[in-house]
Amino acid sequence: MKSGLLMFLLGFFFFNNVMAQQSFVGIAKYKMTVIGATDSRTDSMKVVFGNNKIKTVFYLPSSVDNNKVITKSYIDNFTDNTTTDIDDEAKTYSMSALNRDQLYKFTNTNKFDAVENKLCFIFNADKADFDNNKFQKIECLASVDFLYRGVLNYFFYGIQPMVIDNRIVFDFTTTEKDGRKSKIFIYEITPLEDVETEFSVKGLNAK
């Protein structure tokens, strides 16, 4: 009787602790690189998690001037199912239907790893979803504590996983047969009370 009551109380407190976790609002910063490539370079991106909206900003070297960094921005709106494609240099934007595709089906292994000392669940992609002659393994690390509620799984343009099982993805790694690893990993995450200004298109012209 006592053991049953104890298990009930533990389950009750665990459930309430999980439900108390709020959907993350703030900014995450990632690095992108290919480990093992001879011409490997590191690019970066910023992801803004808002209420039912996610903005992704890529920082890339200019193809014309290597000393210049250009940005490319996208806003995915889950309320009206649209993507806003922003040309930061031309100061224009266009809108299209939100891509809801999911390139891979990830399964929680119930094993743990850490990114920047933050605990994550390890998720593996179903091998039936990728070319086994090219890839050894595809996995992502999704945060235990940083949740994004309302969107179960979200893949940027249907390809890059950013939310898995309502959890923000901290690391996405594809390992090829030759050992090279394409890796996107978080290096900074900052909760904020309000990020609505990040989603403004004020001052931009519609294409």
Count CB-CB contacts under 10 A for residue 56: 19
Q: Decide: 152 and 168 in contact? Cβ < 8 Å.
A: no
Taking the CA atoms of residue 161, residue 167, residue 172 and residue 174 in that order, the dihedral angle to the nearest 10 degrees is: -70
Task: Tell me the domain boundaries of the chain.
Answer: 22-206
The model's pTM is 0.85
Gap between the Cα atoms of 102 and 52, Å rounded: 18
Q: What is the pLDDT of residue 120?
A: 98
Q: What is the pLDDT of residue 9?
A: 42
Query: Which residue, among 36, 89, 94, has the nearest Cα to 62 in the 3D structure?
Result: 89
| Residue 30 region by backbone torsions, left for phi larger than 0, else alpha for psi between -120 and 50, else beta | beta
pLDDT in tens, the chain (207 residues): 445 544 444 444 444 444 346 899 999 999 999 998 777 678 899 999 999 999 999 998 766 666 778 889 999 999 999 999 999 889 999 999 999 999 999 999 999 999 999 999 999 999 998 999 999 999 999 999 999 998 999 999 999 999 999 999 999 999 999 999 999 999 999 999 999 999 999 999 999
Q: What is the pLDDT of residue 68?
A: 79
Q: 110 CB contacts (<8 Å, ≥6 apart)? A: 121
Gap between the Cα atoms of 67 and 80, Å rounded: 38
> Which amino acid, one-letter code, is at 81?
N
Fold adopted by 22-206: outer membrane lipoprotein receptor (LolB), chain A (2.50.20)
Count CB-CB contacts under 10 A for residue 116: 12
